Structure 1
C-alpha cells in the first residue's frame, strides 16, 4: 500500500509514532514526503523493538534513543544524498542485530566513520552491504567492527561495480567470529 503525505505530513507521522507507547515494530518503506523544507524528523519509541527504514530519498531521518531495540534494518541502497549517516547509526546503538545497506563514502560524503560517537555493546549480528573499492570504505567498515566489541556473527556482502576477473560480481562470504 502506498501512502502519500500532504505538505508537512511527516510532522504528523512523527507525532503519531511518538504518541504510540505500545508500538514495538515500525517499518518505514519508501515513505514519500513532499516537503523538502522539513529539516528532518525524529523516530522514537521507548518500546520499539524493531525498526526498518527503506528509502530512495534523504528525509533527514534521525533516531532517538531506542533502549529496547532488538533489530534494525537500514536500506538506503538507491539514496544518493544522506546528511548524517553516523548520527543515524548512533540511534541504533542498542540493537542486537543490524542490517545496513549503503554506508560507503559516496554516501557519507567521503567521511570515514572513524568518528562514530557510539559503541554497539549489545550488537551480536551484523549484515553489512558495502564495497571495498576505496580506502575510506574499508576504513569505515573497520570502524564499524571496532565499535561492536561483542559481535558474534558478521555477514559482509559486496556491492558495486567490482568484478572478479572473468567472473560474476564478487560476494564476500559469511564470517563467523568465535571465542
Structure 2
C-alpha cells in the first residue's frame, strides 16, 4: 500500500478526463484552524448551490452557515458525533444542509433530498475551484440541530459540510491520520454502470 505524504495534491486517477475541481476534490479532515473563508468567497460557493437543478424548480434546499468562533458553529459542533468533533472544530465554516420535505401547502416533496444533494454537490465543486476543501458528514444528532435552531417541522437536517483550507495532518488523532493519508480508491465504471440496449 502506498502512503501519501504530500496532501496538497491528491488528484484522482480517473478513467476519463475530468475538469480539475472534480479530479482534485477529496475529503480531508485536517483543516487549518487559523484559515478564514472570505465573505465573498463563501457567497460564491453558496451561489453555486443556488443554481443547482431541482424538481419543478422547487429549490427545496436550506443552509445554516456557521463560521468558526460563532455560537452557531458551536451548536453544530456540539451536535456532531465524537468522531467528527475530533477534527471538524478546525474547519473555517460548517454548513448544515437541510431539505424542505413539505411545501407551504403541506404537500410532500419526494425529491427534496435528491435536490439538496445536487445543491451540495454544486457547492462542493465551487469550493474546490476556489482553492478550498470540503468534507461531508452524516454523524450528528439531527434533533439536537433542529431544536438548537428552532427549525420548522418541514425541514430535515440531512448532512453537514465542512469548508476550509488544508491543515497539518499530524494534528489529527492517529486513527484519523491513517485514513487521511491512505490511497484514494473508487470502484471501476464497470462495477456500477449498466448500459441498456
Q: Under a length normalisation based on structure 2, what TM-score does the superposition of the two structures give?
A: 0.22
More strand by share: 1
Q: Which one has the bigger helix percentage?
A: 2
- Larger Cα-atom Rg: 2
Higher RCO (CA-CA < 8 Å; seq separation 6+): 2
